[in-house]
């Protein structure tokens, strides 16, 4: 009998939690060699908390409004993640900036998903930024978190077309479909210990074999 240890995930979310849901689903179906050991939200009304509850996962709200500053909020978040034995911190629509204290507690072990093709359009309302700019392609990026805003080394990206009649909502929905694919993919690559950070670049070991899976949408 082979015993596989699962990568212990702490998922941080502020909103509806559809990315969280895709990770829950793939953990449950056995597609991911990972388990969610804590879902943590800063917003008591986050749909993500309800999704975690429905899935029977440990979940917790630490409201940033209860803290005087970012450092003390982050200290509480880090303590909860450490208590739960989290090995990889997965930001899934977590609308708070991560402080140096948080980064130091999980070096190269915090990842984020951003709904744009970085380095284009970091920050907020990025689907609208892509539309307003007239970009023909948009997409999403999974990256390691560093001390900048959406600047860390890129693990995986997916591309979607921008259509002439797109609205912010229609483009966001098309991007979100890809987010739900590539976030679990990136987590699985880390669970398989295939991901190496080399300066700004991320090398994925055995990528040749997985190349078709890394191009989103896959080449026909």
Catalytic residues: 114
Q: Is 170 in the site for ligand GRF (CB under 6 A)?
A: no
Nearest residue to 82 via CA among 7, 186, 8, 191: 8
Q: Is 152 in the site for ligand GRF (CB under 6 A)?
A: no
Give the span between the Cα atoms of 195 and 88, in whole angstroms: 13
**Chain length of the chain:** 220
Q: Are 186 and 159 in contact (CB under 8 A)?
A: no
Shortest reach from residue 188's CB to ligand GRF, in Å? 18
One symbol per residue from 55 to 94: x for binding ligand GRF (CB under 6 A), - otherwise; what is it? -------------------------------------xx-
Shortest reach from residue 21's CB to ligand GRF, in Å? 8
Q: Is 15 in the site for ligand GRF (CB under 6 A)?
A: yes
Residue number closest to ligand GRF, CB atom: 93
Please give the torsion angle defined by the CA atoms of residues 14, 16, 18 and 24, in that order, rounded to the nearest 10 degrees: 70
Across the strands, what pairs with 144? 111
The residues of the shown chain that bind ligand GRF, judged by CB under 6 A, are 13, 15-19, 92-93, 113-115, 176, 179
């Amino acid at each position: 009998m082979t015993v596989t240890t699962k990568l212990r995930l702490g998922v941080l979310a502020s909103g509806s939690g559809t990315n969280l849901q895709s990770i829950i689903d793939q953990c449950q179906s056995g597609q991911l060699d990972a388990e969610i050991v804590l879902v943590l939200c800063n917003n008591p009304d986050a749909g993500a908390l309800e999704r975690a509850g429905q899935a029977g996962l440990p979940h917790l709200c630490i409201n940033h409004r209860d803290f005087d500053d970012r450092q003390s909020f982050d200290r509480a978040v880090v303590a909860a993640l450490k208590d739960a034995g989290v090995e990889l911190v997965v930001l899934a629509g977590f609308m708070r900036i991560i402080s140096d204290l948080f980064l130091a507690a999980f070096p190269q072990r915090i990842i984020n998903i951003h709904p744009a093709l970085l380095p284009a359009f970091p920050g907020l309302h990025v689907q609208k930024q892509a539309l307003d700019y007239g970009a023909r392609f948009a997409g999403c990026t999974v990256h390691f978190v560093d001390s900048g805003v959406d600047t860390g080394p890129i693990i995986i990206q997916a591309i979607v077309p921008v259509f002439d009649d797109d609205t912010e909502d229609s483009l966001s929905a098309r991007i979100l479909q890809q987010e739900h694919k590539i976030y679990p993919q990136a987590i699985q690559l880390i669970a398989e210990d295939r991901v190496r950070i080399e300066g700004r670049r991320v090398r994925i070991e055995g990528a040749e074999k997985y190349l078709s899976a890394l191009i989103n949408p896959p080449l026909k």
